[in-house]
Amino acid sequence: MSTSRVLLGAVLSLVMSTYGCASEEEPVEDELQQTEDNLSFGYKGRVDHAGVVESTTMMLKSFTELDAYNRQDPFNINPALHAEAFRANFIGYDGIDGVTDWTPANLSLWVTRMSTGNYLVVDLSKSCAFGKPSYLDIEREQMFGTPHTTCGGRTPSEDALDVTYNLLIRGKPEKAADIGDGVDELHKAASPTFPYLAGPN
Amino acid sequence: MKRRLLASMALLSATLGLSNVSEASDHADGLKTALDMTADISDLYAFTSPSDASKLVLVMNVHMLATRISRFSDRVSYNFRIRQVESVRTLKPVPGGEHLLACTFKGGSIFDTTQDATCVLDGRDTLTFRTNDERAAPRSGMKAFAGLRADTWFLSIPQTQKVINFKKPEPGAHSNSLAGMNVLSLIVEVDSNKVGGSLIAVTAETVRK
């Protein structure tokens, strides 16, 4: 892709951040729809998927692989495309504290998990303690045999990044006092009642 | 405003290949999503309702630089997909019997961002509602909200950059790099018994039509 085309896209992306998307009702909207078409370069199909926190931005992180990863079916990702990048990064993160924490079995487990799918696991038979630790609780059972006590999944307000840091650096998906990014709560707290997320800033 | 400008600059850097994309959850994770922000998922949440455990709550955030005049794309299908999980031992989603909750939007303008939204579960149960309405009536076992919300992701980007570069984060409190940012949120409550057994796998995807 030429630099000029990337520059054009970047500028247009800022236009989009201001004006949002398209509609068919007014001339100005048609122009915006055209802008959106330009930004997507006429692409049709899957643009993005989400499940595990930082699956792409930290765990895969290879810029050349991100779009290809995002285009794939999040329940059926081709492991041949990304397994080596995930493995290399997991090993790199494990070495941050100078200790090899990941067992070969758990390393293989997570390389397989992330290179074949991107999803959250939820136990509907258990209540979720809103804002309390539950993220990757079921995966913790899979890795260490400790029965999960929450619904797993992910609730707003939970510090999923610290859980991710500890998964990557210590091989354990849990929040710990001494490994984290130093930000432990939302700027605007989420609510345990519908619609859960705080209003805009 | 300053944070938005900084985030915009970070996004520009990312799109120009000057940095290693955003370090935030799933925000702007790639050139395509950094440009196509109405289809860029920043976060997925899935949990049972604190007030009614028989309800599954699904939340998809998109558009990390959303403003009060941002809207969902009318050319994107915002999908939640749910599969049963084989067992706790494998955590493998079972291919058969997948449930699809597909939401689409139309209408709205920069002068009135209100859009008509439609969410369809498995091609049968349909919920229609207007965006930015926290009291939209439930229907077909579903209740939904869609509109501008405060970004629910919180992190220190400098500390996360350290970790990404395989360095230990600095101890102590740091500031939330995303404080003051907004996203477009799609929030749907659905009867759990409509999406299967006890252990499920949930993913979110955006598909450009």
**Average of per-residue pLDDT values in chain A:** 84
Which chain B residues are within 8 Å of A69, Cβ to Cβ?
A: 30
- Report domain extents, chain A: 3-40, 55-170
The reply to whether residue B70 touches residue A199, judged by beta carbons under 8 angstroms, is no
ipTM of the complex as predicted: 0.89
DSSP string, A111-162: HHHHHH---EEEETTS---TTSS-TTHHHHHHHH-PPP-S-BSB-TTS-HHH
Continuous segment of H or E residues that includes residue A30: helix A27-40
CB-based burial label for B157 (10 Å; 0-12, 13-18, 19+)? buried
Q: What gap in Å lies between CA B37 and CA B30, rounded to an integer?
A: 11
Test B156 with A181 for CB contact under 8 angstroms: yes
**Of A20 and A144, which is predicted with more confidence?**
A144
Question: A198 vs B17, which has greater pLDDT?
Answer: A198
Q: Report the alpha-carbon distance of residue A59 to residue B21 in Å, rounded.
A: 13
A contact test, residue of B32, B81, B159, B174 with most A CBs within 10 A: B32
Q: Does the CB of A145 have a partner CB in chain B at under 8 Å? A: no
Q: B17 contacts in A (CB within 8 Å)?
A: 6, 63
pLDDT at B59: 98
* Residue to substitute from A54, A69, A194, interface B, most B β-carbons within 10 A: A194
Average pLDDT over residues A5-22: 44
Q: Where in chain B are the domains?
A: 38-208
Contact B200 A122 (CB under 8 A): yes
Say how far apart CA B127 and CA B146 lie, in whole Å.
Answer: 12
Q: What percent of chain B has pLDDT over 70?
A: 86
**Structure confidence at residue A25 (pLDDT):** 41
- Averaged pLDDT for residues B181-191: 97
pLDDT surpasses 50 at A12:
no
In the predicted model, is pLDDT for residue B127 greater than 80?
yes
Q: What is the pLDDT of residues A86-117, one digit of tens each?
A: 999 999 999 999 999 999 999 999 999 999 99
**Residue B17 to residue A48, Cβ atoms within 8 A:** no
Model confidence at B151, pLDDT cuts 50, 70, 90, reads very high
- CA closest to B108 among chain A residues: A23
A136 CA: distance to closest CA in chain B (Å): 11
Q: Nearest-5° angle of CA B113, CA B116, CA B121?
A: 135
Q: At residue A34, does pLDDT exceed 80? A: no
For residue B103, what is the enclosing H or E element?
Answer: strand B99-106
A171-179 contacts at long range (C-beta below 8 A, 24 or more positions apart): A171/A94, A171/A101, A171/A102, A171/A103, A171/A106, A171/A107, A171/A143, A172/A101, A172/A140, A172/A143, A172/A144, A173/A135, A173/A136, A173/A137, A173/A139, A173/A140, A173/A143, A174/A133, A174/A140, A175/A133, A178/B171, A179/A97, A179/B168, A179/B169
Closest partner CB to B208 (pick from A47, A74, A118): A47
Higher-pLDDT residue of A195, A40: A195
For B76-93, write each residue's pLDDT tens digit. Answer: 999 999 999 999 999 999
pLDDT of B101 higher than 50:
yes
Whether A81 has a pLDDT exceeding 80, the answer reads yes
What is the model's pLDDT at position B72?
96
Q: What is the pLDDT of residues B34-69, one digit of tens each?
A: 778 999 999 999 999 999 999 999 999 999 999 999
A25, B31: Cβ pair inside 8 Å? no
pLDDT of B139 reads: 93
Q: With CB atoms and an 8 Å threshold, state whether A126 touches B48.
A: yes
Averaged pLDDT of chain B = 88
B18 backbone dihedrals φ, ψ, rounded to 5° = -90, -15
Pairwise CB contact (< 8 Å): B35 & A36: no
